[in-house]
Amino acid sequence: MKKAFLFSAILVASLAVLGQDQVTPVGDVRKVTFAANQLDLTTANAYVRIQAYGAAIIRVRISNRPFQPDFSYAVIAEAGKPALTRNEKGETAGEINLQTDSIKVRIRKAPFAISFYTPDGQLINQDEPGLGTSWIGTEVTTYKHMQDGERFIGLGEKTGNLDRKGNAYTNWNSDVFGYSVSQDPLYSTIPFYIGIHHGLQYGIFFDNSFQSDFNFGASNNRFSSFGARGGEMNYYFMYQPSVAGIIRSYTQLTGRMTMPPLWSLGYQQNRYSYYPDTEVYRIAQTLREKKIPADGITLDIHYMDAYKLFTWNKERFPDPKGMIDSLHRMGLNTTLIVDPGIKVEKDYPAYESGLRENIFLKYTDGLPYTGEVWPGWCHFPDFTSEKGRNWWKGQVTNYTNVGVNGIWNDMNEIATWGQKMPGNVLFDYDGHPTTHLKGHNVFGLQMARSSYEAARQALQKRPFILTRAGYAGLQRYTALWTGDNRAEDDHMLTGVRLLTSLGLSGVPFTGMDVGGFTGNPTVGLYTRWMQLGAFIPYFRNHTQLNTKSAEPWSFGEDVLATSRNYINLRYRLLPYLYSVFQQATQEGMPVVRSLAIDYTHDARIYNPAYQNQFLFGPGFLVMPEESVQQFAKVYLPAGEWYDLYNDVQEQGAQEKLIELSAVTLPVYVRGGSIIPMQSLIQNTTEKPTDTLTLQVYKGSKDSRFVYYEDDGASYQYEQGDYYKRSMSFDAVVKTITLDAPTGNRASQFKYIRIALHGFAENNLQVNGRAVSTTDLLFSYLNPKPLAGEPNSFTVKSLVLENSADKIVIKY
């Protein structure tokens, strides 16, 4: 027995030193160097560098060889003030102590391990003792101790529950047509998550574009971990007093979106595909005839000549510019799909110029990589090279010159038939040459970047850019939709969680194919999805080839009426939505907000029964439910809530059973909210009436909303051409305050109507002067409700001139 045990021990020891079978830890610290804001360590098996990227962000970089030149497509921030300082007085022989104003860092020397604490000494996060960081061959992994009751949220476009505890995920951008509701990976990679425990929250962004894996206690009860198949261990640790603060820190690192064109927030009518041009005209004219507000039509791959990029099928679209100009006159913008594959075909202009300018991805022997997609065998631009991006800019003018102002980037995972692009394809990686193994996950990001820069330069105004694939930081250039979903109830709800997870991961402008891309929705599902679409950042109806038509009029008059009601609501809420997008540009806050942002430590929001509920901006609580249900159990978080349709007030922190209706989606408004609305328009080129209505809901807590206007199209807002006004509700001193506006632009509204919800007072004071209210009959679903109409109710209101002075309303 002893001999057998000894033999086993020798065998294990022998295997541990055999090449790829070896697990190599970082090891003991042997050398310490500290300069301003940077600690460098040499250990038995690695090099470690720790830096501050702000008081709340610590970067940890670990390599098993000397550090290579630093480069990232995701991170745009630089290390700097406030500096990381070393507290040598508190150190021991085996420990190094670092700190900023917000985080304390303790480093154990033997073996190397790192822990993060709050300024008052609470443990936030630590390496798992005995494991830490290690390599198996080229694969590097960091193991973190899993705290009691710890939850994990975020990680971008990932299926599964809001709380990711007990699951594992892989990041490898994939073309997953008709994916299942539990499939992983999907199309995009955002290796950033938020951990929650004991009243604390932190974020970890693992900036490594190789295939990466995250484990949140799957198949083990000891640790969470993150690692990659190659490259460095390179992560950013963030601590803030709130999840919203974590999102701000993450988007401080990776950037924030610019203001979108206003038209892109309107309703978009899509299909795979609308052709020929007469069909496009029919869709456009029907939208207008049936008074369905809309701002965009998208053309899928059938507009091309044999699917060749930067071409038009002349039989289907003999006059592209004429058609696009006609759509513009109808208030409709045109978005075109673009795929990265350039067909290998002699005399095809894009192919010939790509060869001439040497911009295609290549094998190690210098020959261009060839993969098969829609046009046949194709080469692919290297968007990780400046030369490739500049070539793309020249090609995109083929579209912008005929009036296209929306570019939809598809198939950019990279997708090819066979879905197995070889690893020995080379990427420039902006002067840091590498292989497909490192370049794959950033290809979609760089294609979207190229389209954004091309269209912005050519149009000299804001383009709309959409992508299917991407990497962390994609929000700087593009919106993202969740790919080829299915017309099923569980897909609709999975889509909601994909959007809230993307929002937690720094991407505010997101959408899913409303109605489902594959298959045919039932009448009930289509109706519910169209209602939900009104509360999604990118509201696009889309279905694939060989499915039933899915335009709002395709399911009968009742469905048309309900769909139109919610599209109408969307357009009346554009002042609110546009202001929420402006907040996203400043703070990184999403439009579709997981309840984990505002109610982080309320265990009930993670219950699978309630995890699909979300906030649309700060004010609306949306409760998606399956179309087949007649009743639903919902959860109202702490605070006061008003039923959107009848103004009935409910107290929060309660579960509630509600009856569902085919004609309304359950939605509540948070007490204290200020919701700006306008009159109904049919598209964003139309001007609303001269009165902005502020729906003000009485609550027990203070709140603030920043209202925002600009021209909706240009970048002049970056030079101060905007109108911004902070509006606040104070529950203690009982005031509604509109601060003096800022910016160089005048508001488009001459008057402001204040509509008061939940207020019993008949007499108010405006800047110290007594005023009387009048009754206003109001409905969210119908612009001009009739007395006694369902979903209409009466509120107190008053109308004021939209003065440039501060306005204080005391109630």
Catalytic residues: 410, 413, 484
- Strand ranges in 411-477 using DSSP code E only, listed in sequence order: 425-427, 434-435, 464-467, 470-471
Give the DSSP letter of residue 664: B
Structural contact between residues 153 and 164, judged by C-beta atoms closer than 8 angstroms: yes
In total, the chain counts a number of residues equal to 811
Nearest to 238 by CA among 270, 192, 295, 271: 192
Residues 700 and 208: their CA atoms lie apart, in Å, by 45
Tokens encoding 698: 């009485």
Residues 91 and 98: their CA atoms lie apart, in Å, by 9
DSSP string, 504-540: HTT--SEE-EET-SBS---HHHHHHHHHHHTTSSS-E
Look at residue 552 and give its three-state secondary structure. Answer: helix
b/e code 489-508 from CB counts within 10 Å (16+ = b):
bebbbbbbbbbbbbbbbbbb
Long-range CB pairs of 304-307, under 8 A, 24+ apart, other chains included = 306/343, 306/375, 307/339, 307/343, 307/374, 307/375
796, with CB counted inside 10 A (0-12, 13-18, 19+), is buried
Residues 558 and 556: their CA atoms lie apart, in Å, by 6
b/e code 24-42 from CB counts within 10 Å (16+ = b):
bbbbebeeeebeebebbbe
- Strand ranges in 731-792 using DSSP code E only, listed in sequence order: 735-738, 751-757, 763-766, 769-772, 774-778
Q: Which residue has the tokens 């994909």?
A: 498
Residues 754 and 798: their CA atoms lie apart, in Å, by 5
b/e code 750-782 from CB counts within 10 Å (16+ = b):
eebbbbbbbbeeeebeeeeeeeebeebebbbbb
Residues 348 and 281: their CA atoms lie apart, in Å, by 29
State the helix-helix crossing angle for 349-357 and 386-400, rounded to 10 degrees: 160
The amino acid sitting at 389 is: R
Give the DSSP letter of residue 697: E
Which residues neighbour 285 within 8 Å (Cβ) at sequence distance 6 or greater?
330
Structural contact between residues 527 and 555, judged by C-beta atoms closer than 8 angstroms: yes
Bond into 111 cis (ω within 30)? yes
Q: Which residue has the tokens 């008003």?
A: 642
Structural contact between residues 679 and 703, judged by C-beta atoms closer than 8 angstroms: no
Structural contact between residues 763 and 773, judged by C-beta atoms closer than 8 angstroms: yes
Long-range CB pairs of 358-366, under 8 A, 24+ apart, other chains included = 358/387, 359/385, 359/387, 359/388, 359/391, 361/425, 361/426, 361/427, 361/436, 362/425, 362/426, 363/422, 363/424, 363/425, 363/426, 364/424, 364/426
Q: Which residue has the tokens 């159990």?
A: 633
Look at residue 470 and give its three-state secondary structure. Answer: strand
